[in-house]
Amino acid sequence: QVQLVESGGGLVQPGGSLRLSCAVSGTFFSIYAMGWYRQAPGKERELVAGITSGSSTNYADSVKGRFTISRDNAKKVVYLQMNSLNPGDTAVYYCNRRQTAWSWGQGTQVTVSS
């Protein structure tokens, strides 16, 4: 059974940074493209960053230049470094496989507020 455990969220002031982690267990990891998603209140879940098995990356326009996705295949962890955060980044953040998502984890709350 695949488990996704996101962590690293919190309350941060505008302009601040956070690093999210997502630990994956119960499956192969290195062969899959992974993504970080977010869901703000009243909005649909959206993809913010993706990383292929070969570590090629892509980003939503809204986070390009501010967020960096990376992965550690040995540890089965995918990271999201978030810099220059603004209130528009407030959401619950999730990770999952890009194709045919596994069951979603609990996510980690990111709140950007002064």
Question: Can you give the pLDDT at residue 19?
Answer: 98
What does the alpha-carbon distance between residue 110 and residue 90 come to, in Å, rounded to a whole number? 5
Residues of the chain with pLDDT below 50 are none
What pLDDT is attached to residue 84?
98
What whole-number distance in Å separates Cα of residue 46 and Cα of residue 37? 5
H-assigned helices in 13-70: none
Buried b (16+ CB within 10 A) or exposed e, 77-114: bbbbebeebeeebbbbbbbbbbeeebeebebbebebee
> What pLDDT sits at residue 99?
86
Residue 32 token pair: 């899959």
